[in-house]
Amino acid sequence: MIRINAMSRTVRLMAALLALLLVLAGCSSNNGASQAGNGGAATSQGGTNGKGETEPEKTEGNTGDANGEETVDVLRYPLSLTFASLDPHLVPTGGVANIDRHIYEQLVAFNTKYETIPVLATSIDVSEDGKTYTFPLRKGVKFHNGKELKAEDVVASLNRWKEKTPRAQASFGDSLFEIVDEYTVAIKLARPSNDVPLQLASYLQFAAITTKEAIEAAGPDGLTEFIGTGPYKFVEYKQDQYVHLAKFDDYQSVDAPQDGVTGKKEALVKDLYFDLIPDSSTAFSAFLAGDYDFANVSVDNLPQVQSLPEIHLEKVFGSELNIVFNKKAQIPSNVKFRQAIAAALDTEQVLLGYTSDPELYKLNSSFVQQTNTNWYSEAGSAGYNQKNIEKAKELLAESGYNGEELVFLTTRDSGDMFYNGTVLVKDQLDKIGIKSRMEVYDFTTMIAKRAEPQAWDLYVGSFSVQASPSQLLFFGKTYGWPEDEKLQQLIVATTTALTKEDRQQASDALHAYEREEYVAAVKIGETGNYYANRSNIVGYQYFEGPILWNTKVLKK
């Protein structure tokens, strides 16, 4: 049995074991502080804080911290987002995860080096054959309704999460999480795996732990009670206006330095509001007016922000732009058609038009960032950024395309990041004779439509950079429906590779097949954003999204 322990993770031996059995990834962060992330099932919304209480709205007050500085009790964070559910098991969107990560916790989570570190677990115990993962739990951890965390809650939560999450289904197969004893859970797999901790730590549609009772009470539209163990508890969702969270006084943090979403967590403001502002220009105007201390800054607005006093400005990479094909639709189901689009694209021109700033994009054919030495591959790169119009036209003719009008699914919510990318791709496809139209919806409706095979042909979206190929949403069986046996076998091969050499071989094979042959999606490139916050915000960090625990607001 190999044990990965939170208190000894810096030991050299442990680092070697992590390299052997865990998938470690390079630096990335989700482009979602003021934007919706990508994906998600559409559900209805409602709920209580677990005690059946509706707490009164707090008004802003001031307190003092240990240093004698006067602080503010309320923090308001703007999100360019609409959503239909706060259920973390159902919704793979960055915007919803930005909220939920303050309510819920996972057994393990990523630090900033993308190492999987125990959070609600005390260690990750892996059998010598790589088939059994055992997780002892921390004792005395309380849910927001006062119940102590036990194995029954973890098993109920994780088996529901697995049922709702295509990437977990593909990785774990028919295996389920089981109770070993009151404070221990395990999963026994049919084959060796490097993938279990990585899937449990993933940011989108994450493996949140709630109570067994909340899982049992969940209906077809999702959870009706939002009860976690995190530093903030759910108070109220006022539809399309805000989500209100409040400090959880009984929160029990781990005793370790903060690193990503691991380590120390402390609620330093009493009330946390995520204000939902789909229009990015409205959100930016509110920032300039002093209503918010955070902003997602467009290139056009960058000089204005740079001229402001006492502003911290940060450039964050963590997203990539992709074209996803509906493989159940008649025309995109033809592989020659998909290859034609890959051949036609001048991805750098799309990226420059999308970002308006050469500093905010990177060309990269790999599924992961170049710093991710476990999975980075240049195999299949000949199929990337081809900008070969003649080849594209030949492939299009071979596909049998005859001038049919195709449907791009998109939205103007979330700062037009979906819409603008779609316009740029559509313009390039016009050049090879592909006729198309855009059907534009609000964000929530777009997500619902994307789950309907008859509703669309192509979709251009911003995706969070992932730590391994098995986490890519568009490889999931219900996300564009990549029903190809060889592709799925190659994905599984990446999860069962236990040595670095085997991982590289598996990654190369998957990259080559996807980029040059199957083409489930076309990667355009990596993109970044500028984020700003005022200097009265102390302790704020951004990792795959905003981290608002350990954050205090000094009185202006």
Output the average pLDDT for the chain: 88
The yes-or-no verdict on residue 392 having pLDDT over 50 is yes
Q: What local confidence, expressed as pLDDT, does residue 106 receive?
A: 98
The yes-or-no verdict on residue 144 having pLDDT over 90 is yes
What average pLDDT score do residues 107-115 get? 92
Q: What local confidence, expressed as pLDDT, does residue 52 receive?
A: 42
What average pLDDT score do residues 243-266 get? 97
The yes-or-no verdict on residue 13 having pLDDT over 50 is no
What average pLDDT score do residues 222-246 get? 96
Inter-residue contact 248 to 231 (CB < 8 Å): yes
Separation CA 164–CA 181 (nearest Å)? 25
Q: What local confidence, expressed as pLDDT, does residue 63 receive?
A: 65
Comparison of pLDDT for 240 and 137, the residue scoring more: 137
Return the minimum-mean-pLDDT range out of 55-64, 463-472, 511-520: 55-64
The yes-or-no verdict on residue 78 having pLDDT over 90 is yes
The yes-or-no verdict on residue 465 having pLDDT over 90 is no
- pTM for the full predicted model: 0.82
Return the minimum-mean-pLDDT range out of 50-54, 127-131, 296-300, 396-400: 50-54
Q: What local confidence, expressed as pLDDT, does residue 372 receive?
A: 87
The yes-or-no verdict on residue 540 having pLDDT over 80 is yes
Can you give the residue ranges of every domain in the chain?
Answer: 71-293+536-554, 316-529
CATH number attached to the domain at 316-529: 3.10.105.10
The yes-or-no verdict on residue 20 having pLDDT over 80 is no
What average pLDDT score do residues 231-240 get? 96
pLDDT digits (tens, 9 = 90+) for 269-318: 999 999 999 888 999 999 999 999 999 999 999 999 999 999 999 999 98
Q: What local confidence, expressed as pLDDT, does residue 61 receive?
A: 62
How many angstroms separate the Cα of 197 from the Cα of each of 124, 228, 241? 8, 20, 35
Q: What local confidence, expressed as pLDDT, does residue 93 receive?
A: 80
Q: What local confidence, expressed as pLDDT, does residue 2 receive?
A: 57
What average pLDDT score do residues 446-455 get? 94
DSSP result, 120-178: SBSEEEE-TTS-EEEEEBPSS-B-TTSPBP-HHHHHHHHHHHHHH-HHHHHHHTT--EE
Q: What local confidence, expressed as pLDDT, does residue 62 receive?
A: 64
3-state secondary structure of 398: helix
pLDDT digits (tens, 9 = 90+) for 34-77: 333 333 222 233 444 343 444 344 445 666 665 678 999 999 99
Q: Can you say whether the dihedral through the CA atoms of 337, 340, 344, 346 is positive or negative?
A: positive
Percent over 90 (pLDDT), the chain: 76
Give Cβ neighbours of residue 429 (< 8 Å, ≥ 6 apart): 341, 344, 436
71-293+536-554 belongs to CATH 3.30.70.100: no
